[in-house]
Amino acid sequence: MCFQSYFGHLLWGPHKIRSRAVCGPRAPSCPWLVYTLFSSCSPKVCVVGSGPGGFYTAQHLIKARPDVELDIYERLPVPFGLVRFGVAPDHPEVKNVINTFTQTAKHSRCNFYGNVNVGRDVTINELKEAYHAVVLSYGAEGNRTMGVPGEDLAGVYAAKDFVGWYNGLPNCRELNPDLSCETAVILGQGNVALDVARILLAPISMLKSTDITQPALEALAQSQVRRVLIVGRRGPLQIACTIKEIREMVNLPGTKPEMLPADFEGISEVLKDVPRPRKRLTELMLKTALETPGEKELERRKSASRSWGFRFFRSPVEVLAEPRTNKTSAIRLAVNRLEGSGADAQAVLTGEVEDVTCGLVISSIGYRSLLIDPGLPFDSRKAIIPNSMGRIQHTPGVYCSGWVKTGPTGVIATTMNNSFDTARSMMEDMDSGALDVSAVKSGSQSITALLRGRGVKPVTFADWEKIDSVETKKGEAEGKPREKLLSVEEMLQVAQT
Amino acid sequence: MAASAAVRTSVGLTLKLSRIIPDCSSCPLYGSKSCVRSATNSQRRSSQDTFRIIYRHLQTSIGLYHSDDGSSNTEDPDDVVNVVYVDRTGQRIPVQAKVGDNVMYLAHKHGIDLEGACEASLACSTCHVYVSDAHFDKLPEPDEREDDMLDMAAMLQENSRLGCQIILTRELDGMELTLPKVTRNFYVDGHVPKPH
């Protein structure tokens, strides 16, 4: 408890210590207020979800306020969310952020509780009872569906599940995608689509030293996919991916680009007024699509056995099946034209359709947040929790950060800024009194007791480190940074013995 | 007493964490044995131990970014490079550094809130800084990969660079590195969320 209130206790006899009443107006720079040990003064916050959204919010709060105690709840036994399950295996540097998150998790004022399903094992209301503030950072685990006939055919997969499969997400391990066809069509042109294309076409020699799962590596080694088309509704100026990923495709060994010059008509003329990021990206595409390659590049393309290309102005209409086997045989695409320009350009149907032969269709048109507790407001059109600067509407004391706050777009840096923003809102509310942190809250003490009573055994951060160690050792034997455990059962076995 | 020991440790830590010296005269512990700055308190260890365990993580800068600048304590004047960081609140923080220091790790060493998610691998844009105009042209041209990452940074400007790619030289003495104010209006001012 703050020392002033401690002395107050001595002087005025035992009574419920209310920090504000005794300490006077909050003086954040006063170093004499000790918060952590005696619960009355320490704000207790819980974060639901241990991906970048959750961890960056936690990091900011812990750093900015010496009194906040933080508990992070995570459904899986393992932390880090999309950093572990979304970032492509051949992008290990992007995963370095795990080191920052690890430091936060091991901070004395932070605790990690894995294997806890908020919504099923414990409710939001129970968390609100136990904590001064709850932050929802559980991301977007659902899919936007294409909504076309044939979407359920064998050979059609959501990119989220395909990525989950090669990244070891436990509920994607049975995906067994059929890679026995020559052409794959990916709907969507964001970075996830580019990642999928790259993993489908990358040389096995490149993949086998990454943390891609062993079953995926073996399946890809047998894959007969030789051509990947990455299809978007609109044009080159509206493509959603970033330049790094395009460059990786252009430079991917053993592959050659296959673009349609007609798709790029009129593009270079409008480039001079376009902001730098869009300009550089478009210039790279133009170069790849239109420029005559030099001798060296020509040689490289001649010997390439695999190809990839963007296809623009096409929307999926139906996935067609081979009548006898009912396996995917083609995708019917509607031809669009653009109305308007720039980011707001709209794709309008022309009435024409085009069939593309393929055996693998991967829809990469967006992740989607789900509602985990009926007590929360939810905007099902945008699939986000309605909020204002991270403060959930009509729900005082509950905040959100990451993709569940803004929608499922953005790289780690975007989520970082978004999470810091939510943390700032929370701090403002603590300082103004809009978030009342004077009451005594039981925090993890009551929640862990509740979970115990329900037969739920949380996985601590130290337990995760056991899993981490097992995965790293298994990986060493194979020349990989880690060999991920693929099921929750295996993870719990290692964590809890 | 537990409370005073905790106060003592907390004070020490707060002093280390912030550069603000507390106003001791307003504190009732001032001059007493419980005061951390008192010479007599060094004898009282036992109750302090528990708190030390709890607080040890706080001793190091939160965010614990290891310093990669191979620091030694030489104060060779030819080696000194003075730079100024301007943090997100506008506060100016002068730093005395050395030739060869990395701007991102230097910021970490001095508790300036410049993130470095990918740890200087050109795989993110979280160490984005604005470089003072007088010094911007003295920096070597960015690698294509740095430009690719800068393209993803919020509030990109002509004088934007990634801090992890700036290595100090004598020429850069007096350089100012401003952290972009990623403000509450981040989304309100028409900014479009970046693709993923």
Per-residue pLDDT tens over the stretch A188-238: 999 999 999 999 999 999 999 999 999 999 999 999 999 999 999 999 999
Mean per-residue pLDDT, A150-178: 97
The answer to which of A303-312, A374-383, B19-28, B56-65 has the lowest mean pLDDT is B56-65
> In terms of DSSP H, where are the helices of A337-435?
403-406, 412-432
Tell me which residue in A59, A106, A411 faces B194 most closely, judged by beta carbons. A411
Query: Scanning every residue of chain A, which has its alpha carbon at the shortest distance from the alpha carbon of B2?
Result: A37
Report the gap between the CA of A454 and the closest CA in chain B (Å).
30
| A247 touching B (Cβ < 8 Å) | yes
Report the gap between the CA of B57 and the closest CA in chain A (Å).
6
The backbone torsions φ and ψ at residue A185, rounded to the nearest 5 degrees and listed phi first, read: -115, 125
Contacts of A404 in chain B (CB under 8 A): none
Contacts of B27 in chain A (CB under 8 A): 32
Annotated binding site of A: 74, 82, 118, 189-192, 233-234, 245, 403, 410-412
Contacts of A100 in chain B (CB under 8 A): 63, 65, 115-117
Strands in A364-453 per DSSP E: 367-368, 387-388, 391-392, 398-400
Report the gap between the CA of A322 and the closest CA in chain B (Å).
34
Sites in chain B below the pLDDT cut of 70: 1-75, 183-196
Tell me which residue in B51, B62, B151 faces A63 most closely, judged by beta carbons. B62
Q: Please provide the average confidence, as pLDDT, over all residues in chain B.
A: 74
The backbone torsions φ and ψ at residue A423, rounded to the nearest 5 degrees and listed phi first, read: -60, -40
| A36 touching B (Cβ < 8 Å) | yes
Q: What is the pLDDT of residue A251?
A: 97
- pLDDT tens track for A223-278: 999 999 999 999 999 999 999 999 999 999 999 999 999 999 999 999 998 999 99
C-alpha distances (whole Å) from A63 to each of A1, A113, B20 are 20, 20, 16
Contacts of B15 in chain A (CB under 8 A): 31
Judge whether A95 and A25 are in contact, CB under 8 Å: no
Mean per-residue pLDDT, A87-111: 98
Q: What is the pLDDT of residue B25?
A: 58
| A29 touching B (Cβ < 8 Å) | yes
* CA–CA dist A208, A337 (Å, integer): 42
Q: What is the pLDDT of residue B104?
A: 98
Q: What is the pLDDT of residue A359?
A: 98
Tell me which residue in B57, B121, B196 faces A106 most closely, judged by beta carbons. B57
Mark yes or no for CB contact B64/A103 under 8 Å: yes
* CA–CA dist A312, A301 (Å, integer): 23
Q: What is the pLDDT of residue B77?
A: 78
Tell me which residue in B7, B57, B152 faces A3 most closely, judged by beta carbons. B7
| A240 touching B (Cβ < 8 Å) | yes
Please state the ipTM of this predicted complex: 0.87
Report the gap between the CA of A95 and the closest CA in chain B (Å).
7
Tell me which residue in B115, B151, B187 faces A276 most closely, judged by beta carbons. B151
Residue carrying structure tokens 């706080």? B58
- Find, among A251, A238, A312, the residue nearest to A282 by Cα: A238
Q: What is the pLDDT of residue B76?
A: 76
Mean per-residue pLDDT, A59-84: 97
CA torsion angle for A279, A281, A287, A293 (degrees, to 10)?
Answer: 150
The amino acid occupying position A171 is N
Name the more confident of A19 and B125. Answer: B125
Judge whether B133 and B159 are in contact, CB under 8 Å: yes
Q: What is the pLDDT of residue B1?
A: 53
The answer to which of A341-345, A355-359, B130-134 has the lowest mean pLDDT is A341-345
CB atoms within 10 A of CB A346: 12
The backbone torsions φ and ψ at residue B72, rounded to the nearest 5 degrees and listed phi first, read: -125, 180
Q: How confident is the model at residue A14 (pLDDT cuts 50, 70, 90)?
A: very low
The answer to which of A163-172, A229-238, A353-362, A373-382 has the lowest mean pLDDT is A373-382
Query: Scanning every residue of chain B, which has its alpha carbon at the shortest distance from the alpha carbon of A243?
Result: B148
Q: Write down how long chain A is.
A: 497
Q: What is the pLDDT of residue B41?
A: 44
Mean per-residue pLDDT, A121-146: 97
